[in-house]
Amino acid sequence: MPTVPTPPSLWSVIQNLGQSTASIVLLLTILGLLFTAIAWVARACNPGRPWWRKPDIVTDVCYWFVIPVVSGYARIWLLVIGLFLLNGLPATLGLPRLFGEGIGPLAGLPVWVQAPLYLILSDLVMYTTHRLFHTMRLWRFHAIHHSSEEIEWTSAARFHPVDAVFHGALADVVPLLLGISPDVLIALVPFNVGVSALAHANLDWTFGPFRYVLVSPVFHRWHHTGPDQGGNSNFAGCFPVIDLIFGTYYMPKGVLPQDFGNGDPAFPRGFGEQLVHPFRSQERPAGLEPGSSS
């Protein structure tokens, strides 16, 4: 009598996630070497010292390796919670099957259709949460991402864990709950991480006629400027056309962004200090006022 294969346990899923974490760390190291090499030959948007001589480089490196790992584990737990709230305990017990096949209305679609759908869905979620983190009390967490005054590819992961979980991981959980296969997410990790690093790289690239297709370094650097410029614009993480549709696109021709920061000169610089700062801060720093341009 043939035996019925036993689905993997939740623990085995977590172990696989651990292996994926090791792969992410390797990917982050490779990207670091790649963007360092690019910096030697490409023209900078804002000429100055190299990334390894930034005054807060230790803070950036801590974020660079810690936050992607935190987000990775947050994905699985947000997924468990989402399945439980939508379908109850039986769905969460079937979680291992989800990681092999996907569960939801989009699960039956071929991979070549799921991949662009995932990128669009996740960017729409990130656009929405990004705008939310620029308003009211949520800014205290997102201000950490804007605290760097010298934007480099190392700034890409400078997110408070609260910000990273609900801004980043949620953008993966929503497509998963709709049935996008986890295999699609895993396959696109290098693309997503690479695009994020590219968006923060100190390069004068605008992508010319393709500036609405993929986020460019200049496009995103405007987002790190003050509210009187692009600080309350350019929220999309991958597709600038989303900003164009919602009226938050800002990239003036022939001008490059120059001044960056969150508008708070007293903002802490250290990794540990920044992690606890949002729980001590009660007011939004004078710099990026909520809703000033949207």
Reduced to 3 states, what is the DSSP secondary structure of residue 146?
A: coil
- Residue 145 near residue 129, CB atoms below 8 Å: no
Percentage of the chain with pLDDT > 90? 50
Token digits for 228? 């009187």
- Note the pLDDT tens digit of each residue in 63-97: 998 887 777 677 667 666 666 665 554 554 555 55
Q: What's the whole-model pTM score?
A: 0.83
C-alpha 161/C-alpha 131 separation (Å) is 17
The mean pLDDT value for 133-161 works out to: 92
- CA nearest neighbour of 259 among 156, 152, 149: 149
The mean pLDDT value for 24-37 works out to: 87
pLDDT at 126: 95
Written in H, E and C, the secondary structure of 9-43 is CHHHHHHHHHHHHHHHHHHHHHHHHHHHHHHHHCC
DSSP 159: -
DSSP 233: S
Q: Is the pLDDT of residue 284 over 70?
A: no
Reduced to 3 states, what is the DSSP secondary structure of residue 50?
A: coil
Maximum average pLDDT range among 38-42, 219-223, 225-229, 264-268: 219-223
